[in-house]
Structure 1
Amino acid sequence: MASPKPVGKATPMVGGVLTFILFGIHRLFVGQIYSRSEAMSLVKALSDSSLYFGAAIASASATILALMLTMLGMMHNSSADIGIWLFKRVRMIAWFATISLCSAVALLTFSSIPIGEFEDIPTNWYVLSYYAIATLMAVLAGLLVTSILLILGAVRYLVNRLAPEVE
């Protein structure tokens, strides 16, 4: 059986960067803020959706970490020659999932600030808050897409290694 060629890191990274750019551009166009009331309403709307988004990213990242442990166990128990590439890929996936999980916790913490409850806050605070939340959401989207594409490459490699040959 011919040795399967590992997929490089470039494709997942490109996917993550493109997701970040597309998500970021969308948020920048939506976030054209001209007044304090607009800024406050945009931050409130974005905070509400970012709570759901952050929880979904945190859940996905924790699941990915658990699945990487399962994959490591399967690789360890396999009689096939897995190769160092897959172990390095699993390590990279674990790092991306951990960064995503920690960033999601930061987003959840930041998004849970009661936006409309404060008096005498300068307008630029709301504008900066909007862009901070939007940027963090774009980063998280990019990290998740990168993680998923890294997993796809690892799974394809592992299946090619372990699958019986089809004639």
Structure 2
Amino acid sequence: MIKLTTYNKQALFGGIIAALITGGGAFLLGSLSGYEAKSLRTSSLPRINTLCNTIVLASATILALLLTLLSVSSGTKSRLKDEHYKHVLIIAKTDTIVFVVAMVVFQIFNIPITEAENVPNSWYSTIYYVSLLLSAILSGALISVVLMLYNAVTSIIKIIGLGISDHPLIYEDESETNNKKY
């Protein structure tokens, strides 16, 4: 198990808050009858599919950006601590999970369940709320990934672009440490 840094915890917290807000808005509608839920699911399906497509595209783009981030990280004069690379690894793992889940949810949502005749109307309200819940979770997960990526990029900007030499992700040279003691 990889230990989460403060930055990762903040990003995950931000994603959870976003998921709760987006998911909570859907539940403010109150309870729906099966027919209403079937109608709402039919009308919301194109938007949910668009959301899943956007999340898949964003996740794939973020994975490509991580390669660039690693290239820039390895090209710096400063030696970065393992924590930076573990942070990037967590971003990559989380992003890959979001990518896969978004693809699976997209495929599940494209099952023409509203056109099936043997599905009881009472199931549609559950199907509708599950689809809203999955959409909220996927949105929150992508927000977490973007916040984690933001934290990694700002650290690299501070180290490389601004030349901050006492950043917590930079190894301190042992000879400099010994010279400071004397």
TM-score by length of 1: 0.88
Report the CA distance between 1:164 and its aligned residue.
Answer: 4.2
Task: Name whichever of 130-139 and 75-84 sits farther off.
Answer: 75-84
CA distance in 2, matches of 1:134, 1:31: 13
1:91 aligns with 2:82: no
CA distance in structure 2 between the aligned counterparts of 1:31 and 1:126, rounded to whole angstroms? 14
Instruction: State the alpha-carbon separation in 2 of the partners of residues 15 and 115 from structure 1.
Output: 33
Counterpart CA distance in 2 for 1:58 and 1:136 is 14
Query: Cα offset for 1:84?
Result: 1.5
Distance in 1 of aligned mates of 2:30 and 2:57? 27
Residue 42 of structure 1: CA displacement? Answer: 1.4
Trace 1:27-42 onto structure 2 (pairs within 5 A). 27-30=26-29, 32-34=31-33, 36-42=34-40
AA matched with 1:14: F
Tell whether 2:143 aligns with 1:145. Answer: yes
Q: How large is the Cα RMSD of the aligned pairs?
A: 1.8
Residue identity matched to 2:151: G
2:154 to 153, 156, 165: 156
CA distance in 2, matches of 1:75, 1:165: 13
Unaligned runs of 5+ in 2: 165-182
Larger Cα-atom Rg: 2
Describe the superposition over 1:3-25 as per-residue Cα deviations: whole angstroms up to 9, x where unpaired.
Answer: xxx85322111101100100110
Q: Number of residues paired by the alignment?
A: 160
Normalised by the size of structure 2, how large is the TM-score? 0.81
Once the two structures are aligned, what percentage of the paired residues are identical?
Answer: 28
Which residues of structure 1 form unaligned runs of 5+?
A: 1-5
* 1:163 CA displacement: 1.9
- Aligned counterpart, 1:22: 21
Q: Is the 8 A contact 1:82 1:161 kept in 2?
A: no
Runs of 4+ in structure 1 deviating by more than 6 angstroms, as ranges, are none
Between 1:97-106 and 1:117-126, the stretch displaced more is 117-126
Of 90-99 and 79-88, more deviation after overlay is shown by 79-88
2:7/2:148 contact within 8 Å kept: no
Return closer, same or farther for 1:42/1:164 CA change in 2, 3 Å cut-off.
closer
Give distance in 1, aligned partners of 2:37 and 2:106: 20
